[in-house]
Structure formats: structure tokens, C-alpha cells
Amino acid sequence: MKQSLQLKLGQQLTMTPQLQQAIRLLQLSTMDLQQEIQQALDSNPMLEVEEDGDADEHFSQRDDKTAPGSEATASEDTPDNQERAAAELPGGEDNEWDVGLPEDLPIDTQWDDLLPAASASSFSGDDLTDTGFDSRNAADDSLREQLLWQLNLTRLSDIDRLIALAIIDVTDDNGRVMQDLEEIRQSLAEELEVEIELDEMVAVLHRLQQFEPAGVCTRDLQECLLVQLQQMPPSTPWLEQARLVLGRHINQLGNGDYAQILRRTRLKESELKQVLALIQSLDPNPGQSIGQDRTEYVVPDVFVSKKDGRWVVELNPDIAPKLRINSNYAGLIKRADSSADNTFLRDNLQEARWFLKSLHSRNETLMKVATRIVEHQRNFLEYGTEAMKPLVLHEIAELVEMHESTISRVTTQKYMHTPRGVFELKYFFSSHLATTSGGECSSTAIRALIRKLVAAENPRKPLSDNKIAQLLEEQGVQVARRTIAKYRESLMIPPSNERKRLV
């Protein structure tokens, strides 16, 4: 095989560390970005937070004249500068942490013995009132832990306690026992090598059903609701009638066949309304009330408001602190010094510049995309969800001259505060459907129309999917019945037979 030299021309994208950092910051949510900034502040001495009232030149995310990538001027290595820098650096003569600390400390010295007591015991009972309500009241324990805690307070024999543990182990987060009692009994009998009666299993199950929340450790929906009724005071109005309806006519109740329930129970329509109101007050999934996640708050990235008849997009100034390069540390860098300390400072200075430039690029991209979205969805801001226009990522990508993948990163976990609420940027993107006039209608607008039609329907005769499709066609929107069913399910709206109610 003959060897030869050839020249080829080609283009190739190189993922430099700076580009990788910019992409990573772009796709971070507000909470993750704040953690990333804090980590950069902790690891890079060249970065510092700009305090209010500082007169020094600083990096501003809104100032286009700032050039975070410009060269830092190295100060002259004079004795006066060295003395001043030594006094300003940590460990200098004016360092407040060195006051009162002996020069030689024993190996087993405890920091709590040397630092002021206020730093370790400054938390008082009064501070508890300042903490968030959700942080004090959020339930961290799971349903299983709650049941085990109540089991430890219950007097049972050793065998019954093992049976209770086995039942709790097969109880899901909704409070349902997911395994048949006979299977649990056979498994325990083989493991313990003892004979266990099924009646004993049922007795322990009924004991567990008295635990909180009411309705846990039940085998189906009917038993769950009946257990909750049993724990109500006997004086509760319509209690016996509710037990009768759930015990004998739950299938008709699920199908919305109220006429048959009225005929079999011999109740009047007004009385059945009261019974149904009591049943609807019960919790079909009692386990969901335990172990809920802590409340998570959404921090909007941009604010949209109407000023002088125009919609204005503004970046949230509180999503990230204003950063700048520490001029004192930057001034310690020497041009012709290749020592380890100087190399460390130079590398951190370059990383700080990259980080600031990436933050600035992230904010610029976010503002461009948010502005284009607001321009396209102006009707939504004016008139509501029904006026939402179709929009896809490709359209915004062309307007801002970026790739669709970049737009996808920008719109994920980024939120916009509008007069109509806080929405994720992806909320404004939706597919389109044709109208009878030859135009296009957003799928988000169609969902809003479906919700509006269902809210205004007659509860005695709820609208079927076919009827909703016909009503939308009368309004000029052609939607298939299967599409209506898909949108209805996405809105968590049950089918017509489950929406049937007595007026």
C-alpha cells in the first residue's frame, strides 16, 4: 500500500472548557445557578460579591460596556504595595480572626473553646419564629414510618406484631394493602414455622385500620371509605345512609347511576345530595397526606409588565448576586513570575473571567428568548389562555439566530412572571391545529376551551368527547374525538360518566 500526504479542509466544533461552562450555566435552573455561584465564590479567591455602595469598578450583568475578559493590570512590585497587600490578605496583621488566638495550639484543641460562644449558640427560641412556616410543618416521615411509630405504641403479642409488620410492608404510599391476606399468612407461616389462622390476620388488619390517617391498611376503595365512616361520630348526619350506599351500591355510584340508587335506597333526591356530600368529603388515598415533599417555591427569571401600553421584559435582579473580580488579588499577579503562587492566581483569574462572561452570556440569551416569546404571545397576555398562538422552538431559534437545542436549554426550568401568573417558558410553546377558516389554533388554547366547556356543562348531562368535538367545530376548530380525550386526560378531567352529578 502506497503512503502519501494529503491536505483536507473541514470544520469542527471544539468543546473548550469555556464553552462547556457556558452551556452548563445556560441549562441550570435559578436554584441550581445560585448554588453554582456560591461554589465558585468558595473555590475561587478572585471572585467576590459586589456590595451595595461600592465605588470600585465592577462587573454588571446589565452593563454592556463591561469587559470581563479584559486583561487585569499588574501592579508594581514595590515595598509599599507588598506591605498594603499583605495587610489586606487573610492572615495579615489586621485579620480579626487572629485576635485572641495563641500561636501554638495543641493537637486536640477544640475550635468551640476558642471561638466566641455567640457563633455556636446564637440560635435562640426567638429565631424559631423567623423560620418559614413550611420548614416547621412539612412532614418528612413516610407513611410506613408513621405506621411503625403507631405500632410501637400499640400493645400486641409477638406473633401479632410480626403480622402487623408484614401487612405494613405491603402497604403502598396511598394506604392500600397490595397483597392478599392469604398470601401474607402462608409466607409468615413458612418463615416462622408456626400455624397462623386467617382470622388472626384479619383481626390484626382491623387493628391497623384504626391507625392514623383514617382509611390506611385497607384492601380496596370501598373498604377505605367505610373505615373512614366507622371512625366518624355516631351523631354525624346521614352516616347510616352513606354506609348503605357504599356497602351495597358502590358500583352504581361509580357509574353515576343515581336513578337506580334512588330507587333501591328509597331516598329522596335532596337526601341523596346530602349523602353524596358526606361521601365526597372522604379521602380515597389517605396515605397521600403523609410524607408530602417540602414546599418548593418558584423564583421567576424574568418579569413581564405593561408600561405605557407596551409589554416590557426585565431580568430578575435577585436570581444571582452581582459578581466582580477582586482587584486586590488581581493586583498581586506578576507578569514574568512562574512561581506556584503566581500561577495559582493567574489560573484563578482566568477562570473568574470565564465564569463572569458565561453568566453575562446566559442572561443575554435568556432576555433575547423571553423577549421574542412575549412578542409572539402578546394576545395571551392581553386576553388569556384562549388567545394563545401556536409556537415551536424552531421559530424562536430563527428569530434569535440560535440552535433549537440552545432554545430548549434556555426554556427548561426557567420561569416568567406575568400579570396572569408565573409560567415556565416551555408553557408558551405548543403545537397547532387547523381551523375551518384555514388558520391555526394552539393546542394550549384548545385545552382552555375544553376546560371552559366542561366547567359550564350541565352536571346532570355532562358533555361527551363527541359533543365537545362538535361544539369546538361550531367555533371553527376541527379536533378529533381521540384528540379531545387526550387533552381531557392531560387536564385531569374524568370522562362524562364520572362527571355526572345531582344538582
CB count in 10 Å sphere of residue 65: 5
Residue 275 backbone dihedrals phi, psi, to 5 degrees:
-65, -45
Return the pLDDT at 200: 92
Cβ–Cβ < 8 Å for 440, 391? no
Return the pLDDT at 138: 45
Q: What residues does 49 pair with on adjacent strands?
A: 323
Following DSSP, what letter does each residue of 49-115 receive, concatenated?
EPPTT--S----TT-TT--TTSPPPPPP--HHHHHHHHHHSTTSTT-GGGTT--SS--TT--HHHHS
pLDDT less than 50: residues of the chain: 55-139, 503
Cβ–Cβ < 8 Å for 442, 388? yes
From-to residues of CATH 1.10.10.60 in the chain = 432-499
- Which CATH code for domain 432-499? 1.10.10.60
pLDDT single digits (tens) 155-177: 999 999 999 999 999 999 999 99
Cβ–Cβ < 8 Å for 273, 502? yes
The conformational region for residue 384 under phi > 0 = left, psi -120 to 50 = alpha, else beta, is: left
**What are the strands of the beta sheet with 302-307, ordered from one edge?**
310-315, 302-307, 415-418, 421-424
Closest CA to 161 of 123, 193, 192: 192
Return the pLDDT at 76: 41
What is the model's pTM?
A: 0.60
